[in-house]
């Protein structure tokens, strides 16, 4: 019995130490009158939070683990990924070091470390239920990695830090991207969006100006053109004066790759149209009239209605 008791005590000490080492990178955010949620520091003066939790644009109360209070104002939102970013004044935050994404595996221990305005730190312990490659959300956003959490995420922990056993930041916890479980928005995704905001002042989305649908490429056509692609995206419509039209894309073309990356479905195309590619020239490989052709497309920016 003493051995079991010592092992449990060691586990208990490890978890409490993990919380104490990581809580400096987590804050409580009162983005609405009725409740507070958590936020993760990703820059000394920038935090990431869940987008639906923010009901105000500025003077958002933010509370650190040491009891100090600051105020935040919205830098930008990405509702397609359920995340928003606040610039915080009055606090000196300590961003958590990111975990190597390539080393994540299903079954790894993970802790959700959040902050409350009344009880202080909040923690849930579990495992990574599933880890996969890039994933497009039902809202149309792109995650660098799919990380499903087999962890209980309380309402106050929406926006909390998901950390590994060493305290490395895996991502931001959100229950809003999947209907059946919580996921972690990867640290790489958070940093990509924050860099875009800090550099450009907004989160951009690439745009071609075409309507497409996936199609199978017959074996005879693959043999004729010397390609190995079994599927592609057929162009059904081309908007006037769009990036695609300016590049010479035509109805009936079949897009095989963009920027050197195969595009077998719409999700893969959207992943190639991320904000950092806006304004960039990308090589598009297409099938036209049974022949393989190459066009150069300058990716435009998707403009919201009213802009």
The pLDDT score that the predictor gives to residue 79 is: 85
User: What does each C-alpha distance from 77 to 11, 100, 179 come to in angstroms?
Assistant: 38, 25, 21
* Confidence at residue 304, expressed as pLDDT on a 0 to 100 scale: 62
Indicate the helix (H) or strand (E) that contains 247.
helix 243-247
Quote the CA–CA distance of 51 and 25 in Å, as a whole number. 19
Q: What is the pLDDT of residues 16-59, one digit of tens each?
A: 999 999 999 999 999 887 789 999 999 999 999 999 888 877 88
Joined tokens for residue 80: 């397609």
CA dihedral 251, 256, 257, 258 (to 10 degrees): 10
pLDDT recorded at residue 206: 86
Name which of 85-89, 176-180, 209-213, 239-243 the model is least confident about. 176-180
pLDDT in tens, 139-184: 667 888 999 999 989 999 999 999 999 999 999 999 877 777 899 9
**Strand-pair partners of 102:** none
Distance (Å, rounded) from C-alpha 268 to C-alpha 126?
Answer: 31
**Is residue 159 within 8 Å of 176, Cβ to Cβ?**
no
Tokens of 304: 């919201």
How far, in whole angstroms, is CA 238 from its chain's centroid? 29
Residues 275, 289: Cα–Cα separation, whole Å: 32
Average pLDDT over residues 82-86: 93
Are 1-203 and 206-301 equal in CATH topology? no
Identify the CA nearest to 99 among candidates 111, 83, 114: 111
Q: Which residue has the higher pLDDT, 138 or 281?
A: 281
Query: At residue 3, does pLDDT exceed 70?
Result: no
Class of domain 206-301 (CATH, top level) = mainly beta
Give the domain ranges of the chain. Answer: 1-203, 206-301
- Give the model's confidence band at 267: pLDDT under 50 very low, under 70 low, under 90 confident, else very high: confident
Its CATH architecture, for the domain 1-203, is Beta Barrel (2.40)
What pLDDT is recorded for position 62?
A: 95
Q: Give the mean model confidence (pLDDT) for residues 89-113.
A: 92
**H/E element holding 258?**
strand 254-258
Query: What's the pTM value of the predicted model, to 2 decimals?
Result: 0.78
Asked whether 131 and 170 are in contact (CB, 8 A), the reply is no
* Runs of H (alpha helix) within 151-231: 187-200, 219-225
- Phi-psi group of 11: left, alpha or beta (phi > 0 → left; psi -120 to 50 → alpha; rest → beta): alpha
Q: Does residue 200 sit in helix, strand or coil?
A: helix
Residue with more model confidence, 162 or 94: 162
Strand partners for 253: none
Mean of pLDDT values over 111-122: 93
pLDDT band at 71, cuts 50/70/90?
very high
pLDDT score for 1: 45
Residue 307 has a pLDDT of 43
Q: What is the mean pLDDT of the chain?
A: 89
What is the spatial distance between Cα 18 and Cα 13, in angstroms, rounded to a whole number?
8
Question: Distance between CA atoms of 53 and 135, rounded to whole angstroms?
Answer: 23
- What is the pLDDT averaged over residues 179-206? 88
Strand partners for 196: none
């Amino acid at each position: 019995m003493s051995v079991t008791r010592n092992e449990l005590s060691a586990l208990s000490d490890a978890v409490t130490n993990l919380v104490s080492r990581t809580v400096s990178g987590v804050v409580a955010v009162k983005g609405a009158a009725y409740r507070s949620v958590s936020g993760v520091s990703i820059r000394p003066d920038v935090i990431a939070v869940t987008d639906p939790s923010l009901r105000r644009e500025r003077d958002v109360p933010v509370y650190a683990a040491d009891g100090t209070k600051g105020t935040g104002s919205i830098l930008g939102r990405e509702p397609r990924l359920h995340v928003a970013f606040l610039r915080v004044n009055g606090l000196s935050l300590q961003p958590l070091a990111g975990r190597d994404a390539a080393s994540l595996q299903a079954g790894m221990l993970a802790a959700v470390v959040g902050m409350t305005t009344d009880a202080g730190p909040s923690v849930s312990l579990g495992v990574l239920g599933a880890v996969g490659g890039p994933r497009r959300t039902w809202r149309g956003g792109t995650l660098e990695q799919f990380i499903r959490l087999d962890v209980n995420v309380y309402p106050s922990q929406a926006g909390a830090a998901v950390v590994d056993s060493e305290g490395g930041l895996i991502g931001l916890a959100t229950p809003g991207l999947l209907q059946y479980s919580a996921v972690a928005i990867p640290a790489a995704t958070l940093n990509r969006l924050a860099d875009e905001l800090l550099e450009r002042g907004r989160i951009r989305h690439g745009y071609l100006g075409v309507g497409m649908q996936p199609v199978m490429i017959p074996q005879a056509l693959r043999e004729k053109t010397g390609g190995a692609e079994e599927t592609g995206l057929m162009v059904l419509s081309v908007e006037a004066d769009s990036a695609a039209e300016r590049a010479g894309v035509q109805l009936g073309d079949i897009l095989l790759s963009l920027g050197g990356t195969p595009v077998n479905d719409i999700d893969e195309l959207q992943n190639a149209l991320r904000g950092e590619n806006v304004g960039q020239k990308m090589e598009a490989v297409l099938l036209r009239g049974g022949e393989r052709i190459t066009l150069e497309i300058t990716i435009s920016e998707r403009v919201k209605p009213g802009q």
